[in-house]
Chain A
Amino acid sequence: MPGFLLKRILQSLVLLLIVSVIGFVVLNLLPGGPLAQFGLDSSITQADLDRLREQLGLNRPLYVQYLDWAWRLLQGDWGHSFRDGAPVLEVIARHLWATFLLMGSSTIIAVSIGAWIGIRSATHRGSTFDYAATVGAMIALSIPTFWFGLVGIYVFSLKLGWLPAGNMYTIGDETVLDYLHHLILPSIVLALVHVAIWSRYMRSATLDVMNQDFVKTARAKGLSERRILMKHVVGNALLPMVTLAGIQLPSVLTGALVTETVFTWPGMGRLFLDSLGYSDYPVVMGLLMFSAILVIASNLIADIAVALIDPRIRLA
């Protein structure tokens, strides 16, 4: 286990290094590079820009600039937002929990419905349900999230008037119930694609487990199919899903960005687009790096969690 842990942490650090190089390249591709913020101000002349370039060390070789940038990233100095001068990490932190709330509730929906569909498809292999679930998953994966959101707003907000069309809460009525009311539609919209993905993986994981010897043994002991399923199959089939949760994170974040835009949800995705619109590049870069670090960290945590649960990995 310590060997596995060490190896996995080392891999993540290498990945972090590579991600930071990609981020640095993107930073230098942005118009005006790291000086873009001053290019927007008409009172700043070319001479000022040249002096700034000198002062900020942008005339140094690129690898020196990279090391400097990465070092400050490590120390938590992610720069300041052009819009309100607040430290980038603080701006991100302000929007973090709205995104986590949305992602959390949509993951609960996606996992529970996806697991149910997947298990049922596996136990009723080749049935109409299985076929419908397969085709349905492929169609769900093809629907643009924002369009599904628009259709949802049209039906449930504009036509039926059941659910709010956007925002996280009603101003002046910030109760838990009000938050939940606003959470329903965006969570379902974000969950759609992931219900499809989870159901596919759950189906194949369940089929894998059902073909294992210990399930045959359980059957030979005369246990009922239902008991075998609940006691022996589902738990073992859910285990690889922990890894999947980590792998799925980039796609959930992508979906969250689009969903937040459609529902004017004040999370990280919304922040990213607003910052892009204002050419607030420090925040854009910050979110880019933050999301990648989040992904690397959650993959690491998922792998460690699986290792802790599964003795086969722990002892290997």
Chain B
Amino acid sequence: MTSATLSQPIRERWWRSRTTRRFITNKLAMFGLGMIVLLVLACILAPHLLPYGSLDIDLRARFAPPFTGYHFFGTDPLGRDVAARLFEAGRISLAVGFSAMLLSTIIGTLVGVIAGYRGGWIGSVLMRTVDGFLSFPSIFLVLALAAALQPSAMMITIVIAATSWMEVARIVDAEVRSLREREFVQAGRMLGLSGAHIMFREILPNALGPIIVAATLTVARAILMEAYISFLGYGIQPPLPSWGNMLNGAQQYLGSAPWLAIIPGAAITIAVASFNFIGDGLRDAFDVRSDGH
């Protein structure tokens, strides 16, 4: 109660704020948002609307090219409908991307807040651990872990999150460090508020902008990472389709059935680019200085 009046004296309604106005006038960001809404709707609705299921095998209709006959995006080597698989896969890939983002943002925020607020040797150890994780090429670490653990959608999500929380930790650490000696924090201390209260209720809300930006870009990277490891065969396991594993066998049919490679790849690119557009728009809107690293 007291905290609210201390840290946020007068608050504009968020939908009338300058930030929101700057975001909705950003054409690219709105385009990205539109694409994501469309993709999510398609992934939710398509399995109910399409006449074929993602696992329906029809050997007589193998390798049907797209835009001909009954299969809108054509069929795969088992005669399964590519469109049905694409949108089913989209559910999984987007869900993995979102959940990995949530998890990694939580980890990154916790590490960053504690490191930034406590400082000292705890802060040093935490932030050097961040540097340590960043020294590994992410895919080596992800693949080694994915191969070691039972591959399920949940495990893949955890592995991706475990290797993508560092960016958020760095951002939050820097923000908290710059805020922790400010008057409102000292006032909180004098009021006898607990460390956790000051960290999460007083300081953290001020770092929300950069966290949201980083989280949006993390969704993009998580979707890409899932695609990479599933393409390489260590991610989501068939028959469950994901955008990455749909591409897994596509290389051998590149000459005869190029749509098997082109369609899921285009879906990944559109989804990832859209999140990047949104993240970039949010960065401009929140006026987060990109420090170049």
Contacts and interface: CB of A to CB of B under 8 A. Distances in A.
B87 interface: no
A14 B293 CA distance: 21
A138 B273 contact: yes
A85 to B, nearest CB: 22
Interface stretch (B40-48, B173-181, B203-211, B260-268): B260-268
Given A147-B269, A204-B292, A250 B137 contact: yes
Contact of A291 (B132, B136, B149): B136
A143 B293 CA distance: 21
A18 to B, nearest CB: 4
A272 to B, nearest CB: 6
A249 B231 CA distance: 22
Interface in A5-39: 14-15, 18-19, 21-22, 26, 29-31
B247 interface: yes
Given A254-B138, A258-B139, A276-B234, A138 B280 contact: yes
A139 B269 CA distance: 8
Q: Which of A26, A145, A150, A291 has the most CB of B within 10 A?
A: A150
B255 interface: yes
A162 to B, nearest CB: 15
Given A14-B128, A144-B224, A144-B268, A273 B144 contact: no
A154 B254 contact: yes
Given A26-B141, A135-B28, A138-B277, A146 B247 contact: yes
Q: Is the interface of B mostly helix, strand, loop or mixed?
A: helix
A257 to B, nearest CB: 6
Contacts of B247: 146-147, 150
A147 B261 contact: yes
B251 A273 contact: no
Contacts of A258: 139, 228, 231-232
A141 interface: yes
Contacts of B141: 26, 288
A147 B264 CA distance: 9
B251 A150 contact: yes
Given A30-B148, A272-B143, A151 B261 contact: yes
A262 interface: yes
A98 B284 CA distance: 41
Nearest to A261: B232
A58 interface: no
A257 B137 contact: yes
A243 B224 CA distance: 26
Interface string B46-57: 000000000000
Q: Is the interface of A mostly helix, strand, loop or mixed?
A: helix
B25 interface: no
Interface in B238-293: 247, 250-251, 254-255, 258, 261-262, 265, 268-269, 272-273, 276-277, 280, 290, 292-293
Interface string A187-217: 0000000000000010010000000000000
Contacts of A154: 254-255, 258, 261-262
A197 to B, nearest CB: 11
Contact of B231 (A19, A142, A146, A291): A146
Contact of A151 (B139, B147, B262): B262
B37 interface: no
Contact of B276 (A26, A138, A285): A138
Contact of B131 (A15, A26, A284): A15
A62 interface: no
Nearest to A33: B148
Contact of B136 (A142, A247, A250): A250
A28 to B, nearest CB: 9
Contacts of A251: 137-138
Contacts of B224: 142, 144
A253 interface: yes
26 contacts: A14-B128, A15-B132, A19-B132, A22-B129, A22-B136, A29-B145, A30-B148, A138-B280, A139-B273, A147-B269, A151-B262, A154-B255, A154-B261, A201-B292, A240-B292, A250-B138, A253-B140, A254-B228, A258-B232, A272-B140, A273-B143, A276-B143, A285-B144, A291-B140, A292-B135, A295-B137
Given A150-B250, A150-B251, 19 more contacts: A14-B128, A18-B128, A19-B132, A26-B148, A135-B28, A138-B28, A141-B272, A142-B269, A143-B272, A146-B228, A240-B292, A247-B293, A250-B134, A251-B137, A257-B140, A261-B232, A276-B143, A276-B144, A291-B140
